[in-house]
Amino acid sequence: MRTFYLLDGLRHTADGADGIPSWFLKEAAPVYAAILADLINLSLSHSHVPEQWKIAVIKPVPKVAQPKSPVDFRPISVVPVLSRMTERERVHKYIYPSFFSPTTSVLLEDQYAFRPTGSTTAALISILQQVTDLLTTNDYVTLISLDFSKRLTLCAISLQLLYRH
């Protein structure tokens, strides 16, 4: 892993639970890069993520200009800088190339997570377009959504054509 260049290229970002700021990691890169590279490579070779890298600090971020109640905030999970840096490097090295491989590009054409241009908004726009296209030729469309983030949640929505063109 090109640890020195990753550390040297760190931008200002929120500190994780370990309290190590990105500016310190950037400034100390010449001294600690080799040691951190060994630590990261050891972690990857043993398929073990240090417990300190898994601890997240949840910070409330306002969704509106002047929040007045708890619903006006969204939670942001902040993990340590080294954890984010390592994850970003692994995603760039292994996940992104798989999207452009001929064998998987067809299978992952509707995949939006972990893509350089993927987002929740892009996924929702794609779903809305597909449903709209289907409603032009069908009386109704059933949309089944699976959420694997915490527990399996099945949500089925039946959308009906309200008017015909």
DSSP string of 124-157, one letter each residue: HHHHHHHHHHHHTTSSEEEEEEEE-SSS-EEEEE
Claim to verify: residue 19 and residue 78 sit in the same structural domain = yes
Claim to verify: residue 76 and residue 139 sit in the same structural domain = no
* DSSP code at position 58: E
Claim to verify: residue 10 and residue 59 sit in the same structural domain = yes
81 neighbors 20 (Cβ within 8 angstroms): yes
Average pLDDT, rounded, for the chain: 80
- Number of domains within the chain: 2
Claim to verify: residue 26 and residue 86 sit in the same structural domain = yes
Claim to verify: residue 87 and residue 141 sit in the same structural domain = no
Give the domain range for residue 53: 3-105
| Highest mean pLDDT of the ranges 78-82, 106-110, 158-162 | 78-82
Claim to verify: residue 100 and residue 61 sit in the same structural domain = yes
Claim to verify: residue 95 and residue 16 sit in the same structural domain = yes
Task: Mark 49-79 as b/e (b = at least 16 C-beta within 10 Å).
Answer: eeeebeeeeeeeeeeeeeeeeeeeeeeeebb
Would residue 70 count as lying in a domain? yes
Rounded Cα–Cα distance for residues 104 and 115 (Å):
13
Would residue 123 count as lying in a domain? no
- Under the banding of pLDDT at 50, 70 and 90, the label for residue 104 is low
Task: Confirm whether pTM is higher than 0.85.
Answer: no
pLDDT of residue 61 exceeding 70: yes
pLDDT of residue 116 exceeding 80: no
pLDDT of residue 137 exceeding 70: yes
Rounded Cα–Cα distance for residues 89 and 95 (Å):
10
Claim to verify: residue 136 and residue 60 sit in the same structural domain = no
